[in-house]
Each structure stands twice: as structure tokens, then as C-alpha cells.
Amino acid sequence: MTPVLEADSITRRFGGNVAVDHVSLALEEGEILGLIGPNGAGKTTLFSCLAGALRPTDGTVRLRGRDVTRLPAHARARLGIGRTFQIVRPFRSMTVREQVQVGAGVDIYHSFLRSLSRRGRVDRVDAVLEELDLTGYADRHTDELPLGLQRRLEIARAEALEPTVLLLDEPGAGLSVAELRDLSQRVAVLRERGRSIVLIEHSMDFALSTCDRIIVLVEGHVIADGTPAEIRRNERVVAAYLGDEL
């Protein structure tokens, strides 16, 4: 079976600095794939190459077998790649509902002629708000929300696109232990709803308990690829990254 998303020998250089060096991965249908590594390992750069915010210096990105390497981010989004960001940067002037509408492609300042197609998208927005328990906050502005809800809103905005693939960049950053447990359950529900997910995470407990498989990056290279149990036992990973944490 063709992987839903593939990166084949992706390399990204910034002048003389090689941020990502011949990295390959294959995301299977319905899989939750974790991407971990120390700061500066190249995780977010790789994400940007997958999502289209950066074009790789070398290598190929394929979505369901289709080469999308030269497509910009908005074109990949239309094809089914949704992404969140490590730093939460919502539209401060918009309500929660309006921001999810943007993710769903709803023209907020719509004309009557657009209203019919808009109706289906608005229904989608309402469904996403309910799925992520944001309905009660729909008319509030983002700066009124705590960080945990802002991160949930980031996911809702990406999920409103109805993506095939969700790229979650450190969705657990800054969250409490209880919020991480809740997030892990929500990621599992997204998978049940048909999403294939790649997530960057620094919390080992979260990554090991949430992901089906984990890839470890160090200095732009893949040093391990395996199940959470295999990653726990991998001496190279322990030496390079995990240390005594586990």
C-alpha cells in the first residue's frame, strides 16, 4: 500500500548550514508518527518542507504517491495537508469561530451568491468546534483563552480543512500533565476520524504514550525509527537525547 505521505531523502540547506540531511520517512494510513530530537535537530525545518513553507534543497515529497515537492503551502493544503505551529499566533481580532472558519475556507464577508456553498462549510465549522469542545468559547476572542485552549484552537483550525494529513508542531508545548493527557486522547480521536498524523514533541511521556512509531532526529540526521518500546531501549537514542529522563 502506498504511504499517505512520503519524504524521500529530504535535504534542506541554509547557506553552508545543513538543517536537514537526507531524511526519509513514510507515514502510513491512520498512523500517528512522532518526530523527536533535541533543539536544532531539524524537526520544524522538515515539517516546513513537508507542508510547503520551505522547498527542500534536494529530495522529494509525495502525498498519496503524487509529487508535491514544488507545490506551495496553500496548494498542499487544498490537497489535504493541514499544519499547526509551535508558536501559537492566532488572529487576535477574530473570535474562535471566525478563526476556525478561516481554516475551513469560509469567506466571512460573504455575498448572497456564495451562501449556499458557504452553508456546508459553516456546518463543518460547527462540527469541529463541538469535536474539540470549543463551542462554549466560539464567540470569544483568542486573547481571552488560556494556552491550552489556544493550542486546541490551532488544531481545530487545521482540522476544519478536513485534511488527509495533520502535521502538529509541538502541540503539547507549555501544557500541564492533565492537559497533555487530554491532548493525547484528542489526537487519538482525530486518527479515528480518518487523519494520519505526524507530530513533533519534546515531552517523552506524551510522545511514547501517543505515537505508534517514532523517528529520532539529531543534527538533521535520522538516528532511530521504531515503536515507542524500541525507542526506549535504543542506546544511541538514550545517549544522544533521552539521557536519564526515562
* Residues 204 and 234 sit within 8 Å (Cβ to Cβ): no
User: In this structure, what DSSP letter does residue 39 have?
Assistant: T
Say what the pLDDT of residue 243 is. 58
What would the grid cell of residue 222 be?
A: 535520522
Per residue in 25-61, pLDDT tens?
999 999 999 999 888 899 999 999 999 999 999 999 9
Q: What is the mean pLDDT of residues 83-94?
A: 81
Q: How many helices (H) and strands (E) does the chain have?
A: 9, 10
pLDDT at 113: 36
Q: What is the DSSP string of 75-126?
A: HHHHHTEEE--SS----TTSBHHHHHHHHHT--TT--GGGHHHHHHHHHHHH
Q: Which domains does the chain have, with CATH numbers?
A: 5-242 (3.40.50.300)
Considering the chain, what is the average pLDDT of its residues?
87
* Backbone φ, ψ for residue 217 (5° rounding): -105, 135
d(CA 137, CA 30): 30
Output the CA torsion 152→158→164→168 (10° steps). Answer: -60
In which band, very low, low, confident or very high, does the pLDDT at 121 lie, cut at 50, 70 and 90? low
Sheet order of strands, 58-63 included: 17-27, 5-14, 58-63, 66-67
pLDDT of residue 88: 78
pLDDT classification of 110: cutoffs 50, 70, 90 = very low
Look at residue 155 in the predicted model and tell me its pLDDT.
Answer: 93
| Cα separation, 105 vs 122, whole angstroms | 9
pLDDT at 107 over 70: no
pLDDT attached to residue 72: 94
- The pLDDT of residue 238 is 81
User: What one-character-per-residue DSSP string does 141-178 give?
Assistant: BGGGS-HHHHHHHHHHHHHTT--SEEEEESTTTT--HH
The answer to whether the CB of 106 falls within 8 A of the CB of 121 is yes
